[in-house]
Structure 1
């Protein structure tokens, strides 16, 4: 559990302390282990900064989470958005979890609870643009390593954002919902995570056809988790086991994580299937 210990220089920032960060190296963090890729708390100390609502930025408000270690060079960044009628809090666990593994993470509150997927996709793009150009952590962000992630209509927005902005390097769509099933403009390494018992965005109606339609030259993967629509809205070792190695391998280009992506984990009761475009 991270503990708030000091106010950071930026107003609204709280420094969160965890295990000591690893020494400076091109590959950020220690060599991965099965335990590490499932861990909610990674090796980096992190800070948290609230981002208030502001006009003209293309997104509403949110929270930044980022490693405090400046010796590692620029970090890859991930913008995360919730689903229909969901607040930022439903995706907030991704902030400290992924930041502690060496990413800058921006969890968003949408303009409106009823925003549709394409609107959420535009907000993700605006958030990435702000992160790179104007955010208080812009000097920590590598503009060539940007990712989007979201749940439900936010998952559909994730695919819409990657489709609209081909320079996005990685995308993770969580139980995605979108009336569109084909996104031919996506060039990002894309992981689509569905849920077996999802009665809102059924895998047969959304996740599976979205995955089948991916034509990106980069890697893509499909995960079907055991459970229902909201299975990714809280930490589980299984969620981390799939999401973290994907971002490390394809957003950070860290080949140490290749074995965790391909062939993937041994089958267990937490997921129904895992497909990918091996080899990596």
Structure 2
């Protein structure tokens, strides 16, 4: 949703282009604005370890911005350095279609994720990385998309874990609807003008309601306790349901933090995210 405090022609996926990238100083190769679809929004940045091979796992990051703004550039360089340069994951930070003039409403963004993952998978054999599985990390609006894709759209069961940074989870909940005008306006815009929190669309578009024992994946949740935009109860509900379904989950709450976290809390987020990946999506 709003810009995070923490994560402040078609191009071919061409190996010669990768080889031309200057050394990053962090032992990885950077690809900018790789096109995976037919619009200007359908691009991603990719970061691959210099020593990548067919076992190199891919993590995909989805930016925030209320589904009307934001950009792939918000993924912090220090996290890229850690995940790619030190731990040897491949990381993709992707843009998706943004809502403009009532167009590109739900589920356009979910369709873009599917398209991007399919594109990445199609290049795995040629460029030597593992395209059969993914971890999703998202911030705010991007966290919502990561959860909804994993629980409701991943028909191939490629998503092995999700990290949710203060994302909304239930569009039928008054805490982000009737009692929160700013959040409600963003949800209504995403849902193409549907204003009724009790509508079938609000239910179908909610990760909390789509989650089941069959489609759930290990989920890591972060949330500031004073978040004025996405009430922390959204994460509490999701955590409780994951726990009841006996799906691995970890919930990290940050007292005094709002929508996004301070630099000090960000260090804790990074540390816990890395430890979670080591357990549920190890690089090797």
User: Given the two structures, how large is their TM-score scaled by the length of structure 1?
Assistant: 0.67
Cα distance, 1:54 vs. partner? 5.1
Question: SS at 2:131's partner residue?
Answer: strand
Specify which of 193, 203, 210 is matched with residue 238 of structure 2.
210
Cα distance, 1:147 vs. partner? 1.0
Structure 1 match to 2:84: 99
Q: What CA distance in whole angstroms lies between the structure 2 residues aligned with 1:57 and 1:80?
A: 19
What are the Cα deviations for residues 53-101 of structure 1, in whole angstroms up to 9, with x where unaligned? 453499611200111114x652111111112122222224343432122
1:49-68 alignment runs, 5 A limit: 49-53=31-35, 55-56=37-38, 60-68=42-50
What are the Cα deviations for residues 101-160 of structure 1, in whole angstroms up to 9, with x where unaligned? 22111101221166667543333332222111137x863322343111111111111111
Q: What CA distance in whole angstroms lies between the structure 1 residues aligned with 2:43 and 2:262?
A: 22
Q: What CA distance in whole angstroms lies between the structure 2 residues aligned with 1:240 and 1:48?
A: 21
Matched, 1:194 2:223: yes
Question: SS at 1:143's partner residue?
Answer: coil
Structure 1 match to 2:94: 108
Q: What CA distance in whole angstroms lies between the structure 2 residues aligned with 1:210 and 1:152?
A: 15
Question: SS at 1:243's partner residue?
Answer: helix
User: Given the two structures, how large is their TM-score scaled by the length of structure 2?
Assistant: 0.66
Q: What CA distance in whole angstroms lies between the structure 1 residues aligned with 2:110 and 2:62?
A: 9
Question: SS at 2:239's partner residue?
Answer: helix
Q: Are the equivalent residues in 2 in contact too, given 1:200–1:229 (CA < 8 A)?
A: yes
Q: What CA distance in whole angstroms lies between the structure 2 residues aligned with 1:236 and 1:17?
A: 23
Structure 1 match to 2:146: 158
Q: What CA distance in whole angstroms lies between the structure 2 residues aligned with 1:190 and 1:222?
A: 9
1:168-179 alignment runs, 5 A limit: 168-178=159-169, 179=171
Q: Are the equivalent residues in 2 in contact too, given 1:148–1:158 (CA < 8 A)?
A: yes
Q: What CA distance in whole angstroms lies between the structure 2 residues aligned with 1:168 and 1:210?
A: 18
Q: What CA distance in whole angstroms lies between the structure 1 residues aligned with 2:166 and 2:268?
A: 15
Consecutive unaligned residues of structure 1, counting only runs of 5 or more, are: 1-7, 19-44, 255-280
Question: SS at 1:160's partner residue?
Answer: helix
Structure 1 match to 2:109: 120
Cα distance, 1:51 vs. partner? 2.8
Q: What CA distance in whole angstroms lies between the structure 2 residues aligned with 1:232 and 1:75?
A: 32
Question: SS at 1:9's partner residue?
Answer: helix
Cα distance, 1:233 vs. partner? 9.2
Matched length: 218
**Structure 1 residues 54 and 104: alpha-carbon distance in aligned structure 2, compared to 1, 3 A threshold:** closer
Consecutive unaligned residues of structure 2, counting only runs of 5 or more, are: 1-14, 172-205
Q: When you count strand as a share of all residues, which structure comes out higher?
A: 1
CA RMSD, 1 decimal: 3.1
Question: SS at 2:133's partner residue?
Answer: strand
Question: SS at 1:75's partner residue?
Answer: coil
**Structure with bigger RCO (C-alpha 8 Å, 6+ apart):** 2
Q: What CA distance in whole angstroms lies between the structure 1 residues aligned with 2:123 and 2:131?
A: 12
